[in-house]
Structure 1
Amino acid sequence: MPTKTRETTSWWPLAVAGAGVIALCYGFARYAYGLFVPRFSETFGLTTVGVGVLGGLSTAGYAGGLLLAPRTSARSARGTVLLAGAAATTGLALMAAAPDVGVFAAGIVVAGGSAGLVSPGVAQLVQESTAQDRAQTWANTGTGLGLAASAFTPLLAVGWPLIWAAFAGLGAVVTLLAWRTLPRTRPAVTADGESEGLKPLVLNSALIGVTSAPYWTFSGSRLAEAGLSPVAATWCWATIGVAGLLGGLAGRVVERAGLPAANLVTCTLAAAGLALLAVPGLGLAGALASSALFGSTYMALTGLCIVWAARVSPGRPARGVTWSFVGLGVGQTAAAPLAGAAAGAFGLQTVFILTGLVALLAWAPWFKPAGPAVRQP
Structure 2
Amino acid sequence: METTHRWWPAAAAGAGVIALCYGFARYAYGLFVPRFGETFGLTSVAVGILGGVSTAGYGLGLLVSPKTAARSARGTVALAGAAATAGLAVMAAAGNVVVFGAGIFVAGASAGLVSPGVAQVIGESVGVRLRARAQTWANTGTGLGLAASAFTPLLAFGWPTIWAAFAALGAAMTLVAWRTLPRTEPAEVASGPARGVTPLVVNSVLIGVTSAPYWTFSSSRLTEAGLGPVATTCCWATIGVVGLLGGLAGRGAERRGLRTANLATWTLAAIGIALLALPAPGLPVALVSSALFGITYMALTGLCILWATRVFPTHPARGVTWSFAGLGIGQTVASPLAGAAASVLGLGAVFGLTGLLALLAWTQLHPRLAPAREARVTAGATTGS
- TM-score higher than 0.5: yes
Partners in 1 of 2:36 and 2:190 — Cα distance? 47
Determine helix, strand or coil for the equivalent of 2:32: helix
- 8 Å CA contact 1:308–1:369 kept in 2: the answer is no
- 1:195 paired residue number: 194
Q: CA deviation at 1:304?
A: 0.4
- 1:223 paired residue number: 222
- 2:298 paired residue number: 299
Partners in 2 of 1:217 and 1:261 — Cα distance? 29
- 8 Å CA contact 2:364–2:370 kept in 1: the answer is no
Partners in 2 of 1:193 and 1:230 — Cα distance? 47
Determine helix, strand or coil for the equivalent of 2:29: helix
1:324 aligns with 2:323: yes
- 8 Å CA contact 1:191–1:314 kept in 2: the answer is no
Q: CA deviation at 1:365?
A: 3.5
- 2:62 paired residue number: 66
Scaled by the length of structure 1, the TM-score of the pair is 0.96
- 8 Å CA contact 2:259–2:370 kept in 1: the answer is no
Which residue identity does 1:174 align to in structure 2?
M
Change (3 A) 1:193 1:339: closer
Change (3 A) 1:10 1:268: same
Q: CA deviation at 1:375?
A: 3.2
Q: CA deviation at 1:189?
A: 4.4
- 1:140 paired residue number: 139
Partners in 2 of 1:369 and 1:296 — Cα distance? 27
The number of aligned residues is 373
Which residue identity does 1:200 align to in structure 2?
P
After superposition, give the CA deviation of every residue in 1:170-205 in whole Å (9 maximum; x if it has no partner): 000000100110000113446789523100000000
- 2:150 paired residue number: 151
Change (3 A) 1:369 1:75: farther
Aligned pairs for 1:49-88 (under 5 A) are 49-88=45-84
Aligned pairs for 1:225-240 (under 5 A) are 225-240=224-239
- 2:112 paired residue number: 116
Partners in 1 of 2:351 and 2:111 — Cα distance? 27
- 8 Å CA contact 1:204–1:368 kept in 2: the answer is no
1:45 aligns with 2:44: no
- 1:160 paired residue number: 159
- 2:382 paired residue number: none
Q: CA deviation at 1:281?
A: 2.2
- 2:379 paired residue number: none
Greater alpha carbon shift after TM alignment, 365-374 vs 213-222: 365-374
Partners in 2 of 1:83 and 1:217 — Cα distance? 28
After superposition, give the CA deviation of every residue in 1:266-302 in whole Å (9 maximum; x if it has no partner): 0000000011111122110000000000000000000
Change (3 A) 1:67 1:59: same
- 2:310 paired residue number: 311
- 1:343 paired residue number: 342
Scaled by the length of structure 2, the TM-score of the pair is 0.94
Change (3 A) 1:320 1:33: same
Q: CA deviation at 1:342?
A: 1.3
Change (3 A) 1:116 1:376: closer
Change (3 A) 1:255 1:7: farther
After superposition, give the CA deviation of every residue in 1:216-256 in whole Å (9 maximum; x if it has no partner): 11101110111100110000000000011011000000110
Change (3 A) 1:258 1:366: closer
Which residue identity does 1:121 align to in structure 2?
G
1:18 aligns with 2:2: no
Determine helix, strand or coil for the equivalent of 2:157: coil
Which residue identity does 1:119 align to in structure 2?
S
Change (3 A) 1:371 1:46: closer
Q: CA deviation at 1:160?
A: 0.7
Q: CA deviation at 1:47?
A: 1.1
The partner residue of 1:96 within 92, 96, 112 is 92
Partners in 1 of 2:264 and 2:365 — Cα distance? 16
Residue segments in structure 1 that go unaligned for 5+ positions in a row: none
Q: CA deviation at 1:372?
A: 7.7
After superposition, give the CA deviation of every residue in 1:88-108 in whole Å (9 maximum; x if it has no partner): 000000011112111111110
- 8 Å CA contact 2:259–2:364 kept in 1: the answer is no
Identity of aligned residues (%): 73
- 8 Å CA contact 1:95–1:103 kept in 2: the answer is yes
- 1:212 paired residue number: 211
- 8 Å CA contact 2:71–2:187 kept in 1: the answer is no
Determine helix, strand or coil for the equivalent of 1:277: helix
Which residue identity does 1:110 align to in structure 2?
V
